[in-house]
Amino acid sequence: MREMIVSELTQAVQELARGFARFLPRLIVLVIIAFAGWVIAYLLKILARSILRLIRFDRLSDNAGASQLLAKAALPPSSELVSRFVFWVGWLGFILLGISVLGIFGLQEHIARFFLFLPRLFAAMLIMFLGLLAASFFSRAALLAAVNSNLPSPRFLANSIRGIIIVFALSMVFEELDIAQQTVLVAFGIAFGAIMLGLAIAFGTGGKELAQRFLESRLRHRHEEEKNEDELSPL
Amino acid sequence: MLEEVSTKKSVAALRTDVKISEEGLLTDDFVRQLINVGEVDILVGLPTYNNAKTVGPVVAAIQSGILQWFPRDRAAIINTDAGSRDGTPEMVVGASIDDVRRREFNRLALRTLHSISMQYGSTVARGTALRTVLSAGELLQAKATAIISPDSTNIQSDWLRDLLKPICRDNFDLVLPTYARHKFEGILVTNLLYPMTRALYGLRIREPYASEFAFSSRLGSQFLAQNQWNDDGAGEGSEVRLTLAAITGGLRIGQSFLGAKNHTDRHAADLVPALRQTVGVLFWSMDPNFLLWSSKTGSQPIPTTGAEQEFTHDPRRVNRKRLHEMFRSGVAELASVFQSILSAATLEELQKIAGLAEEDFHYSAELWVRTVYEFAAAHHKAVISRDHIVQALAPLFRGRALTFLMENRNSSADRVEANIESLCLEFERLKPYLLEMWSGKK
């Protein structure tokens, strides 16, 4: 009996030792891959930072209004943020590659999914950035046009245009990332419908007189403006 | 028989030239008409768009000017039309020179005066109109070309003499006009375009943006070849571009006093397009010509025939309250835009004067010059869209215009001239500030 227990224990320890002996090289490979990945990711970060500085990404980001958002959230400048993102995504990728070498059952599928997800993540980020850029450009264009045409509430007009473009960009980002498509679609539909319905009710019934006064004042204002037109030419 | 062969050869050569140089711009019919004209000495370009009400007297004055001052020269009138629906081109082409001849001179002209019209598009594009005239001038080998505005209702036949003679006789390359204007007319020219062009390039050109001007074949050919016609917005402000091409090319520029001019085509509401066509082009020119303008100090007068400028004083309606209000709201609403363009100190000063009541309002010459120079530097660095930078200048210009109106409300012509001169000197004095802003030292 005692001999049997000793034999079983010996066998278990031997198997553990064999398993560990089989696992140790993989672990070493993981550490090597992680280390090499860190070096490569760090180099990628430096490269990304240089390229972003070369293309004046921070100025582009300023124009897009992204810098202001980042500053409000106490985050670093956008070129630094993107280069850090490149580093972490790169290093995480290498670590996951190393983990897949360990051969843990079920993990490999998730790792493969992560790598397939990366291009979509980058595409979503690009869409968001371009959306912010477009929102900033068009809202500024609207602001300038409204100010130079002496329209009322130019900032409200500009902010509305910015908001609409950002919401549109966000919905595209969610669609690209395949996140809660149904929820986003429904939420977007409800929000848009609610705004339109609200406006219709406000102008159609509740704000009938207000709308009437507004239109009257606008038309009268325009008429008076035409009457007050300067007789001087700038050129 | 020999003559026929020679004509056919020259026609073929002209056709080849047209195809090579301006393929797609000139229509076949227009080229055929040009070929029929042959060579000319002087060419008069008349860009039009629905100008039937005013074009008749203008064409008559041109014809009269040609008969009176250039009777021995071969001449042609080229009408470039933007698709008028009121019969303007027909009026130009159909205007008979015989009436002018009988009425004013009672004699026969020595040469045939050709009038040709071409529709270049369906919307007004001054750049394309000028390009068409330049191409026609090149094909006809015109020694001198004058451009006349179709709504200059008070045009005199002397205008052609004053514009074209310096080119034909004295070898000038560009002759720009000076006018007798109301003292508050053309504030954008007197408060920005003239002083800044003068400070940058060292030449006292009173009307860098002119609707009447004349140029030599040398300048015409150079400008036609060098100007980037296909660039975005290249058509805008082509008049200023031509002036700048003459300046940067080191060509001979002169001015001729033409007398009074009606400005029926230019309205105060057109401030933003006016800024694009003038200030936008001036800012644009600064990048490629940095070495030239950065080395210039002071300024020199240019040869001028007649008065350099005259001011009239008849009463005009100006809504000062509106100017003040639009300046105030512009400074307040565009603060975020100005933060990208202006230095903190300049913006702070602008916000300070925006808080002043209309009667106390004063936008000083120094602050105005610093504002303009910072805008020019921001345009160079493209801190935001360049077109937005030019647009953002509009409310600030209104503030400066208000100060100019208030300062010169009761001023004599001499006093107005002195104030403009003082502003020009301020632009010249602060040029080092522009260079500092340009290089990013500030």
Q: Is the pLDDT at A216 greater than 80, yes or no?
A: no
Instruction: Give the pair of three-digit tokens for residue B230.
Output: 């296909």
Burial B21-40 (b: 16+ CB within 10 A, else e): bbeebbeeebbebbbebeeb
| Alpha-carbon gap, residue A122 to B110, rounded angstroms | 76
A9 — contact with chain B (CB < 8 Å)? no
Q: What angle do CA A14, A16, A20 make, to 5 degrees?
A: 115
Phi, psi for B428 (deg, rounded to 5): -70, -40
Cβ-based burial of A14 (10 A; exposed 0-12, middle 13-18, buried ≥19): exposed
Residue with the bigger pLDDT between A130 and B267: it is: A130
A69 — contact with chain B (CB < 8 Å)? no
Instruction: Give the pair of three-digit tokens for residue A181.
Output: 């498509």
- In DSSP terms, B253 is beta-bridged to B174
B386 — contact with chain A (CB < 8 Å)? no
CATH number of B11-312: 3.90.550.10
Residue of chain A with shortest Cα separation from B277: A235
CA B323 to chain centre: 25
Q: Is the pLDDT at A27 greater than 60, yes or no?
A: yes
Q: Is the pLDDT at A230 greater than 70, yes or no?
A: no
Q: Do B317 and A137 touch (CB under 8 A)?
A: no
ipTM for the predicted complex: 0.84
Q: DSSP for B404-428, please give it.
A: HHHHTTT--HHHHHHHHHHHHHHHH
**Residue B263 C-beta-side C-alpha neighbours within 13 Å:** 19
Nearest to B171 by CA among B267, B254, B57: B254
Q: Given this model, what pLDDT does residue B134 score?
A: 94
A235 — contact with chain B (CB < 8 Å)? yes
Q: Given this model, what pLDDT does residue B88 score?
A: 93
Alpha helices by DSSP H, listed for chain A, are 2-54, 57-64, 66-72, 78-102, 107-148, 154-177, 181-201, 208-227
Q: Do B395 and A231 touch (CB under 8 A)?
A: no
> pLDDT class for A200, splitting at 50, 70, 90?
confident
Burial B173-209 (b: 16+ CB within 10 A, else e): bbbbbbbbbbbbbbbbbbbbbbbbbbbbbbbbbbbbb
Per-residue model confidence as pLDDT tens for chain B (442 residues): 444 444 445 444 544 454 444 556 888 889 999 998 889 999 999 999 999 999 999 999 999 999 889 988 999 999 999 999 999 999 998 876 666 666 665 556 667 788 999 998 888 888 889 999 999 999 999 999 999 999 888 898 899 999 999 999 999 999 999 999 888 888 999 999 999 999 999 999 999 998 899 999 999 999 998 876 765 544 678 899 999 999 999 999 999 999 888 765 554 458 999 999 999 999 999 999 999 999 999 999 999 988 777 888 777 778 889 999 999 999 999 999 999 999 999 999 999 999 999 999 999 999 999 999 999 999 999 888 999 999 999 999 999 999 999 999 888 989 999 999 999 999 999 999 999 999 986 6
| Alpha-carbon gap, residue A89 to A92, rounded angstroms | 5
What's the pTM? 0.81
Q: Is the pLDDT at A193 greater than 70, yes or no?
A: yes
B385 — contact with chain A (CB < 8 Å)? yes
Give the mutation candidate from B267, B402, B409 for the A interface (greatest A CB count, under 10 A): B267
Q: Do A231 and B317 touch (CB under 8 A)?
A: yes
DSSP SS3 for B198 = helix
| Alpha-carbon gap, residue B65 to B51, rounded angstroms | 20
The domain locations on chain B are 11-312, 320-439
Phi, psi for B169 (deg, rounded to 5): -95, -40
- Give the CA distances from residue A71 to residues A62, A78, B182, B338, in Å, rounded to whole numbers and listed in that order: 11, 9, 51, 19
Give the number of other CB atoms < 10 A from CB of residue B54.
19
- Cα radius of gyration rounded to whole Å, chain A: 30
Q: DSSP for B152-165, please give it.
A: -TT--THHHHHHHH
